[in-house]
Structure 1
Amino acid sequence: MGVLYLIALSGLFRLVYCYENLCRRPTTVLTQSSTYDKHEADFANDGDVTSIKRFCASTDIKRPKAWLQADLGESFSIKSVKLYFANDDFWILAHNREFYLDVSELPARHSTTKQRTRCYTDTTSAPELPRNIINIPCNHTGRYVIVETNYILPREEGAILEICEIEILGCEVGRFGENCKQCIGCHTCDIVSGECVFTPITKQQNVNEEKNFFLYAVIAVLCISLTMNGFMLTCILRQRTSRIRNATQEIKRCAAHGINNTIYQELRQVGGSPQYDQLQISSPGFMRR
């Protein structure tokens, strides 16, 4: 019963766990500076939070720096990062002293710490040990989340990083809150409060959106103007066509009337008989001028 209760309670927590774990997206890719034995970076994104070294990602030995990077595929609004370190023994956990966590738009191999945004720096010094589970607030926007250290134990010849699981909670850019609601009135907002945040990138995006709005407005006015002008031109052409048609019919009637009078005059001159006058009277087509 106790086990069932814990499973049900865990499922309840997952239901109210509203911020998305961005690591679980199929577009997220984990890499690390080096790999020790077969402890690939994907071990830190398999959903197993067991803090035992054989289930964890691990960098190789004798390296001056060690890092693990989560590439989210595009920029996201990040709320927090949760790290699960291996803690089999004292020395394994001691490797994680003085690690730091950064958010960046550039990958770890092509960026320096000055080009990143720092979320956390561990200040643990010997003989103290850092916690093996750390939940780090990290209210920033970025594509890459980088965990890095250059701390070298006295008994070691290089920096080592052993991470069993990393969870990055957040929303798509432009959304905030536990249900990832749409930001109001801006492209990017604080992921917790929803307050608009204007960075150089978002400022340029807002400028571009304003320019596009005015461009679309001008295009709309031109389209309406062209439509109205086309309608008026069509009406004018129809009127002119109707007038031409009426004038043509009038000319035809006048022409027919003129031909009939001409025939009557010729017959009268040739015959000289009043019977043609009667022919004119009896024939509707012949009209006396």
Structure 2
Amino acid sequence: MALNNIGIVGAGQMGCGIAHVSSLAGYKVQIYDLDPDRVQAALATINGTLSRLVSGGKISEKERNDALSKISGSADVNDLAAMDIVIEAATEDESVKRKIYAHVCPVLKPEALLATNTSSLSITRLASATDRPERFMGIHFMNPVPVMKLVELVRGIATDEPTFRAAKEFVASLDKAVTVSEDFPAFIVNRILLPMINEAIYTLYEGVGSVDAIDTAMRLGANHPMGPLQLADFIGLDTCLSIMQVLYDGLADSKYRPCPLLVKYVEAGWLGRKSGRGFYDYRGDVPVPTR
């Protein structure tokens, strides 16, 4: 099963990252998003990121130009018709993803694979919303995609072996490492990572330590490259809450209950870096703790 043409649904941070690494690996990439402005912004972002790699000596100018020549962007879903695999990289909302599949599946060729970059949702349940559950699976890239080495592969109950093998070969061709997870809520990485972040938020909520104290403790005391609250802001507090809710609903264990402080920040629109405020305020020259 040759995957030469890669479609990406969603022109956000993850979609940009997947397009970036796929084009550098020699694949033709078609980015699709309903919003043409987001498509243009994505193409500009990828151009800027590749230019920085040239400036840093990581890639040559020729490699940059070759990669850019392989990427197209569009707000017309019909431009996905020739794709061998389409990777959905939309927001972590099951209802949104289901609407995307209903919109995208009718234009795909029958043999095309469909994948989701979901970080927590059931692959089996998402596959049931498509016309090709045997050719559907989870390909979960880590953020930021160009930097992070790992990709989680997750099969649904209906995913067939050729689909899994093709996905595994595709990920390996991007110079990424594969880990295979069973289809349980939040898979492996987020099943372990997000409860730790949630516990750090509880530690703040209960007054055990300040934002700075908690992040410093984990950076210097556990040798983490980034404190858990800083990491939560980087991930996006809305995404953190969504994943914790998936764990709480899917596993019915009180240890996964989202911290009320996390809920409050999301309700306030303080979503982390992308909104300018989260556990840190990013509106000045230097991030300042908000608690």
TM-score range, shorter chain: under 0.3
Normalization by structure 1: what TM-score? 0.23
Q: When you count helix as a share of all residues, which structure comes out higher?
A: 2
Mark the structure with the bigger radius of gyration.
1
Q: When you count strand as a share of all residues, which structure comes out higher?
A: 1
Asked which structure has the greater RCO (Cα within 8 Å, sep 6+), the reply is 1
